[in-house]
Amino acid sequence: MNRRFFISSLAALPFISIARAGVPWTAQFLTGNFDGKAYSAGLYIKLDQDWKTYWRNPGDAGVPPSITAEPNSNLGSIAVDFPLPTRIVDESGTAFGYHDEVLFPITVTPKDVGQPLSVHFSSFFGVCQKVCTPAKFDAVLNFSSKSAPSADADLIAKWRDIVPKAGAIAKTASVREKYLLLSLARQVNDVFVEGPDNFYFAQPEFDLGGENAHLKIAGLKNDTELKGIELRLTANINGRGVEQRVTVA
């Protein structure tokens, strides 16, 4: 993959709570509500016009976002979700990501719901126009089961609704002449395929009836290499995300 970021420059970037003047992005860690077991939160990124940031699988350019939390005596776990991306094709290649804005929903589970929780979050993500910039951002969020839902709870819920849900995409998957062949369970607008890191799956081509998708596989030496391998499919179906795991026959 064409990684246009210089990861070594990460060490030179200061932690900041929101972007400074002249930087093409702003970021905030937001709190949401408490459902009795876990807290909702999110990393909200806003981008200048024509800038983009990336999905968990960035495509053939860019790097995926990373969101982590420092260990804490009352922190059980965090889980980060990724809203349905857009396929972005430009002179740098094909990327999977977001223009304008994105919120990555985070579920924060405490060990003891009766005790308050303070969490130090860190993030690293790429923003890109014609040139790419590594972005580094951190913040501390305070959670309490006694707190009312925050003003950002609806925003977090809106983006969580865009996270792909489990469902049927393909009935079968096979490889022929270095193409992944998907027999589709329903018509889709686009499909993103994640598999072993040494393979890249191109934009799908659909037959006239939309019943099958064909994706050229870069890095494949022979058609048997993916046999028995589980792939993760994410489909855009009229703006809604569906996700499925399928094993190559």
Mean pLDDT, residues 157-181 taken together: 98
Confidence of residue 21 (pLDDT cuts 50, 70, 90): low
Q: 62, exposed or middle or buried, with CB in 10 Å at 0-12, 13-18, 19+?
A: buried
Q: Comparing 38 with 1, which gets the higher pLDDT?
A: 38
Instruction: Give CA torsion, residues 235, 153, 105, 129, to 10 deg.
Output: 80
CATH node for 7-160: 2.60.40.1250
At residue 22 the predicted structure's pLDDT band, cuts being 50, 70 and 90, is confident
Global confidence as pTM:
0.91
Q: What are the pLDDT digits (tens) for 73-96?
A: 999 999 999 999 999 998 878 999
CATH topology agreement for domains 7-160 and 165-247: yes
Q: What is the pLDDT of residues 96-136, one digit of tens each?
A: 999 999 999 999 999 999 999 999 999 999 999 877 889 99
CATH fold for the domain made of 165-247: Immunoglobulin-like (2.60.40)
Contacts of 169 (CB under 8 A, 6+ apart): 182, 184, 185, 186, 188, 191, 233, 235, 242, 243, 244, 246
Domain-by-domain residue ranges, the chain? 7-160, 165-247
Q: What is the mean pLDDT of residues 15-19?
A: 43
Instruction: Report the pLDDT value the prediction gives residue 7, as an integer from 0 to 100.
Output: 36
Q: What is the mean pLDDT of the chain?
A: 91
